[in-house]
Structure 1
Amino acid sequence: MPIDTTPSTVATNALQALPFSSLIGGPLDAAIKAQAMAAKTSWEFIQQVGLNEDKATGKREAVNVTFYYNKNGQMTKLIVPLLTIVPIPYIAIDEVQINFKANISASSSSVSETSSSESTEAGGSAKASFGYGPFSVSAEFKANYSSKKDSKASEESKYSVEYTMDVQVHAGQSDMPAGLATVLNILQSSITDANSKGTFTFSPANPQVDAATLAKDGKFAVNITANIKDSNGLVLAGEKVTFTPDAGKNITFDAVPEQTTDDNGNVTFTVNGTLTSVDAYSEAVGFTLADAKQGLSASGVLSFIGQLPTT
């Protein structure tokens, strides 16, 4: 009997018919879409939680959280961008495992059976007598014939296909993208404390005029730079600032014109005056810097140290 190759053909066809592109591509496609949704969620969180938008101009500003605390006896305001103190949900899929197993079983069996039997038998009967008296002969004949033939054939084939697939997806909090990390670093560097009323500072902190800077006629010039910030720690540009010196015993000051702060909130005054005494001097004169619009001011002392040069 020839070898039946039907099971092999059935198994091969069943394996080729499996939708491998869908079985493997489906989970990968789902993982990509899930990653896209996670990125969108992160962006929506940043927009809705960390940024405020001006409806009129479309300008976005970082949402700040303000804390007040005591610093060296003064109530100080700490301004912190919200995005630097809350975790940003940035979930990334870093691993997808697809385990696939197919079990294909095909078998075929056939049974063929043939049996036959024959029999021959004389049948019928005949009788004959010959002779007379004691010399007589009689004969009887009987003959039968039968023929029998049996046959049996059976054939069976079966196959089954079974496959299982396990998909494992692992996701976790991923590192921030470089751009977002840079933004957060910038916001973190912007954390500042500010006086609840604003600040007015100047430099040098202790302005001085010494003998080396005096002209022979006693004239002097000194530069004083001031900086103004509001209660949120933001520099104030375009503010009008005045410089007012106190009266000195042996010192006269030229008029000091009003100055305007630049874009960085800075303003520089050149203070000119004359030292009138020819004697040795050691004198100090107070001065005041004031911004009328914000109601801010700062006071300092201008010191004169040395010997007035003689002609």
Structure 2
Amino acid sequence: MAIDTTPSQVATSALQAIPFGSMIGGPLKACIEAQAMAAQTSWQFIQEVGLNIDPKTGQKEAVNVSFQFMQNGRMVQLNVPLLTIVPIPYIAIHDIDINFKANISASSSSVSEQSSSSALDAGAEITTGLKVGPFHMDAKMNASYSSKKDSKATQESKYSVEYTMDVAVKAGQDSMPAGLAKVLELLGSSLDVSDPEGTLEVSARDLTLPNEKNAKVTLIATYKNNKGIFEPKSIKISGVTGNVSDDSVVFELTEARDYTVVAGKKEVKVKVHSAESDTKADTPNS
């Protein structure tokens, strides 16, 4: 009987039919998608936790945490960008291990059975007689032949395919990108200790008006609110209009009198006197 090669052919076909591309590429694609989701989560965290959007201008600005504490005998306020004191989730996949195992078994069995018999039935009868003296003998012979042929054959084949795959993914908190690290460095350098009521500074508190026609003196005022932000538009002097210059306001004072510079909850008194009055004050009585 010829050797049955069906099992080896079945095993080879089953091995070729295993979807290696899907089985190996599937976990890799899933890891790439997971990494993209992690990056998106980090960006959403920064937007939702660390940034505020001005409803009027649509501009984004960092969220600051402000709290007060005692320093050198007075109450001060510390303004800290929130992103510098909370951990930003930045998960990255470091290793991907894919272990694949295929188990293919195939078997074939065949049974062949053949039996044959032959018989020929042919009837022939021969009768003979023989007489010897007073005796007489008769002989009778029969002959027959039969032929018969039977055959039987059975064949059985079976196979099974089994494959398993183990996927191990290792991930953890990764170092921040250089751009994000630089942003946090800049935010960290912006830490500021300020007065809870703001800080108002003037260039001088005592000014002398020259003794000449159309005389005037210049006063420069600067104000920071309790968050440490310059607010030049908050600086006012009653009856005097100032001009904003960068973070300060410049006032031209033309009258010899007392002025009050106001910004937020802060007030600073400024005295302007004329040179003529100073001269009279310095001249002794005759």
The two structures have a TM-score, normalised by structure 2, of 0.71
Deviation at 1:291, TM superposition (A): 7.8
1:16 counterpart residue number: 16
> Which one has a larger percent helix, Structure 1 or Structure 2?
2
Compute the displacement of 1:4 (Å): 2.2
CA distance in 2, matches of 1:291, 1:184: 41
Residues 48/77 of structure 1: CA separation in 2 closer, same or farther (3 Å cut):
same
Equivalence for 1:233: 228
Aligned residue identity for 2:37? M
Q: CA deviation at 1:200?
A: 5.7
> Structure 1 residues 6, 291: closer, same or farther in 2, change over 3 A?
farther
1:76-114: per-residue Cα shift (whole Å, max 9, x none)? Answer: 101111111111111112222222211112222222222
Structure 2 segments unaligned to the other structure (5+ residues):
204-219, 251-258, 271-286
Are 1:293 and 2:262 an aligned pair?
yes
Deviation at 1:72, TM superposition (A): 1.2
Given the superposition, is the C-alpha separation of residues 181 and 291 from structure 1 closer, same or farther in structure 2, using an over 3 Å criterion?
farther
> Which residue of structure 2 aligns with residue 63 of structure 1?
63
The residue identity in structure 1 corresponding to 2:54 is: D
Label 1:240 to 1:160 Cα distance change in 2 as closer, same or farther (>3 A). Answer: closer
The residue number in structure 2 matching 1:255 is none
Task: Describe the superposition over 1:185-234 as per-residue Cα deviations: whole angstroms up to 9, x where unpaired.
Answer: 1111111211223346799xxxxxxxxxxxxxxxxxxxxx9975433223
| CA spacing shift, 1:30–1:165, aligned 2, 3 Å | same
Match of 1:41 in 2: 41
Q: Is the 8 A contact 1:100 1:166 kept in 2?
A: yes
Measured in 1, the distance between the counterparts of 2:56 and 2:117 equals 109
- CA–CA distance in 1 between the matches of 2:18 and 2:89? 39
Equivalent position of 1:212 in the other structure:
none
The 8 Å contact of residues 102 and 163 in structure 1, kept in 2 or not, is answered as: yes
Taking the aligned partners of 1:169 and 1:241, their CA distance within structure 2 comes to 64
Residue 248 of structure 1 corresponds to: none
Give a deviation string over 1:115-144, Cα, whole Å, max 9, x none: 334468996654332336425343221323
Residue 246 of structure 2 is matched in structure 1 by 263
Asked if structure 2 preserves the Cα contact closer than 8 Å seen for 1:229 and 1:265, the reply is no
Distance in 1, Cα, partners of 2:159 & 2:226: 83
* Residues 127-136 or 19-28, more deviating: 127-136
1:144 counterpart residue number: 144
Percent identical residues? 57
Task: Name the residue aligned to 1:89.
Answer: 89
